[in-house]
Structure 1
Amino acid sequence: MAGHSKWANIKHKKGKQDAVRGKIFTKFGKALAVAAKEGGSDPEHNAKLRDIIAKAKVQNMPNDNIERAIKRGAGELDGSHYEEIVYEGYGPGGVAVIVEALTDNKNRTAGDIRHIFDKNGGNLGTSGCVSFLFDRKGQLMIERSHDIDEDELMMLALDAGAEDFVVEEEGYEIVTDPNEFGTVREALEKEDLSFISAEVAMIPTTETSLTPEDIKKMQKMLDMFDDHDDIQEVYHNWSMPEDME
């Protein structure tokens, strides 16, 4: 997998999130509520909740918002009940796309997602049609800094249980088994390290390049997914150019 694509994708995603911060917090609120409902409101005993809290804090979500969402999921506050659904399909040029959603209306969300695929030269597929092209991994991205000693960071990450440590021009990518993600993240946090991205993600094993015309369609598709309140995450195997904003 070309290293520059990951960083370009993060930069693109960050730009969108900065522009719609309130919408991002709403999406995290849903995810926190579902995690609390499924595994309890104590992050010490709910690894999924703990990881979502960490991810929300990377995006500077206020603690009050986080606590309210957790209480809502635990039944201490009124709120809607959401269901997790994963959709798979193909974008323009045959790009593999996975969409993770939280919804209180499956029919509405499925229809909206199908429309977004169709409108941008793609099509919604069946479960499993593209997921075999991805590996589920913990992924922590740290920007290069004069304050970070590369060798020390590598040893810290590997000693904590990381599977891989990748050095790239923009910074460092630390890859973990999903079950070890929280342990590795916490070990790095204790050293006052900050992340530009920290999540359990679907990482593509192969990538697809697009023509300029299909790039426009793919960008439009990703923007439409980002703007949809029910959609939490979108993963794809498009080899996004390094200069994408």
Structure 2
Amino acid sequence: MKKVLLFSAAILALSSCSNTDVLEEGNIQQTNAIGFQTLVNKESRALTNASFGKFWVYGTYHKSGQAANKVIVFDGVNVLKGNTEQGASTGWGYSGTRYWVDGATYNFYAYSCDNEPLTTYGRANLDETSKALNIAEFICDETHQHDLVFAKSTDIQGKATGNEAVKFSFKHILSKLNVTFVNEYPADYELTISNVRVSNVRNKGKFLGESGEWNKSDVVRYPEINSTPVVSLALKNAT
């Protein structure tokens, strides 16, 4: 009988989740003021229906034939669950009401890092050319291991009346990697493994909101470590 030892390491893996489920429906708001409504991947370990309460939104619009002249209407505005200001009927609100422009085309982007804005461990900003949200220099290390979710809703046409709330389908753009150690010693052997470290993991990168992918040239190991283990473990069926 094999004795299996498990060790879970919360390591940044630059991958995406594709399944989404309704987080909070709310009532679809039809008004000339811009409001928001959310969906989120239900597989989140940290963001649940009860705990997900804040996200930061970015948005622009341009008029017909003026795609190169985008007007910024949201630049990192904090949207709160249960806010009694604009958007409260959908369950989400923000300060400083913005209104739809009839005939304009809108693009919206949003993120949340465990209900916190990106400051020390990354930067969120609009791309100078596309005006899409980019998340630059995001770092995941032993002091910062949090769920990072992202959503976008683009090519929405503003109307004079009857505008619906902007629907954000939040998805995880990071996944945690679990590492399992397996040995084939007899069942009555007791094995102790200590001071396990996984090094040279790619854990710093830049996410491009326009393409919805991590920029491969900006994905690096942070910090660069040349690690020489004291004891080498032979991992069965592992690369």
Please state which structure has a larger fraction of its residues in strand: 2
**Structure with bigger gyration radius:** 2
